[in-house]
C-alpha cells in the first residue's frame, strides 16, 4: 500500500494554539470533533478518507492537544477554523463536523460560504435552537456539575457518556463497548487537563442572527447524518436541517446514538464517501 503523506503540527493562530494532523492528497476535507471529544475520535475515518482526499483533523480550542489554558475572553471558533485553513493554505474544503462542532461548521458556512463546497453535519447542534432549555439537558447538566463539584471526575464523565453516547433509549451494555471506552477515556483526559468539558463553550461568540433563521442561505451541498437512538433534540435538529437547507440529504444510521462514526465506522464511512463522490 502506498504510504500516505502525513504531518502534524501546531498552528499559532487567532491568539491560540490549534493542534492538527494532515494526511493524504486531493481535495481538502476538514474534520471537526464533537465538543466532548478530541481529534482522535476520527481515527476510524482519518486514514480511510486520506486515500482520496487531503484530510485535516484538529483539536478545537480548549480540547485535546490544543491550547491548554481555559480562555477567559470571548472568542469565535469560526475564526479559529478560518485562521487554521488560511495557515494551511486551504482555499476551499469539504467540512465534516460532529455535534457541537456541527453548530460551528454550519455557522462557519454561513459566514464564509466561499470556503465550503460540501457540508456534512453529524448529530449536529444548531445555533438558535433552544436545546439547552429542555428538561433532559438541564437534568444532565445538573448531574454533571454536581459530580464536578464533588470532585468525582469519573461520575462526571460517565454522566456525559450516558447522556450522549448511550442516548436515552439504551443501557451502557447495549452500546459498542470499544467506542464507549474510547469516549470515556477522552472525557477523562480532558477533565484532568482542563477541568471542565464545557468551560470553553461559555465564551464562544455566537453567530448573529443564528443559523436556525438562515438555513435557506446555505448553498453548499449538505449531508445530514444522525443515529436513530440519539436524543429527541438531535433528531428534531436533523429534521430542521433537512427541510431548511435546499437539497440537503438526511441519512439515519440505525442502532447508534450521538457518535455513529465511532459505533458503526464502516457504515458511516461508506455514507460519507458516497456523498463526497457525487460532489
Question: What is the number of other CB atoms lying within 10 angstroms of the CB of residue 137?
Answer: 15
pTM, entire model: 0.96
Confidence band of 132 (pLDDT split at 50, 70, 90): low
pLDDT at 2 over 60: no
pLDDT in tens, 139-193: 999 999 999 999 999 999 999 999 999 999 999 999 999 999 999 999 999 888 8
- Cα 77 to Cα 35, 118, 161, 204: the distances in Å are 12, 19, 24, 7
Residue 1 confidence class, pLDDT cut points 50, 70, 90: very low
Percent of the chain scoring above 70 in pLDDT:
96
The angle formed by the CA atoms of residues 252, 257 and 262, to the nearest 5 degrees, is 95
Q: Which domains does the chain have, with CATH numbers?
A: 6-132+197-277 (3.40.50.1820), 133-194 (no CATH)
Q: Per mean pLDDT, which range of 24-28, 129-133, 239-243 is the poorest?
A: 129-133
Own/partner pairs, 163-169, CB within 8 angstroms, 24+ separation = 163/136, 163/231, 164/36, 164/99, 164/231, 164/257, 164/258, 164/259, 165/257, 165/258, 165/259, 166/257, 167/227, 167/229, 167/230, 167/231, 167/257, 167/258, 168/136, 168/229, 168/231, 168/232, 169/229, 169/257
Amino acid at each position: 500500500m502506498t504510504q500516505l503523506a502525513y504531518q502534524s503540527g501546531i498552528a499559532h493562530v487567532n491568539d491560540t494554539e490549534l493542534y492538527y494532523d494532515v494526511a493524504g492528497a486531493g481535495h481538502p476535507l476538514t474534520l471537526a470533533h464533537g465538543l466532548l471529544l478530541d481529534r482522535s475520535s476520527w481515527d476510524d475515518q482519518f486514514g480511510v478518507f486520506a486515500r482520496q482526499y487531503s484530510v485535516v483533523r484538529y483539536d478545537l480550542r480548549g480540547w485535546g492537544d490544543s491550547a491548554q489554558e481555559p480562555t477567559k475572553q470571548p472568542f469565535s471558533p469560526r475564526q479559529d477554523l478560518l485562521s487554521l485553513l488560511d495557515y494551511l493554505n486551504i482555499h476551499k474544503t469539504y467540512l465534516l463536523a460532529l455535534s457541537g462542532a456541527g453548530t460551528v461548521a454550519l455557522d462557519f458556512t454561513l459566514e464564509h460560504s466561499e470556503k465550503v463546497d460540501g457540508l456534512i453535519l453529524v448529530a449536529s447542534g444548531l445555533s438558535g435552537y433552544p436545546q439547552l432549555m429542555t428538561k433532559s439537558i438541564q437534568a444532565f447538566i445538573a448531574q454533571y456539575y454536581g459530580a464536578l463539584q464533588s470532585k468525582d471526575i469519573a461520575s462526571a464523565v460517565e454522566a456525559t457518556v450516558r447522556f450522549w453516547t448511550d442516548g436515552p433509549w439504551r443501557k451502557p451494555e447495549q452500546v459498542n463497548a470499544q467506542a464507549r471506552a474510547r469516549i470515556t477515556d477522552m472525557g477523562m483526559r480532558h477533565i484532568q487537563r482542563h477541568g471542565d468539558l464545557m468551560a470553553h463553550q461559555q465564551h464562544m461568540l455566537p453567530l448573529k442572527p443564528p443559523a436556525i433563521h438562515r438555513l435557506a442561505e446555505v448553498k453548499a451541498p449538505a449531508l445530514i447524518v444522525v443515529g436513530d437512538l440519539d436524543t429527541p433534540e438531535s433528531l428534531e435538529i436533523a429534521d430542521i436541517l433537512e427541510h431548511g437547507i435546499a437539497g440537503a440529504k438526511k441519512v439515519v444510521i440505525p442502532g447508534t446514538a450521538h457518535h455513529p462514526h465511532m459505533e458503526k465506522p464502516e457504515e458511516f464511512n461508506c455514507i460519507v464517501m458516497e456523498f463526497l463522490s457525487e460532489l
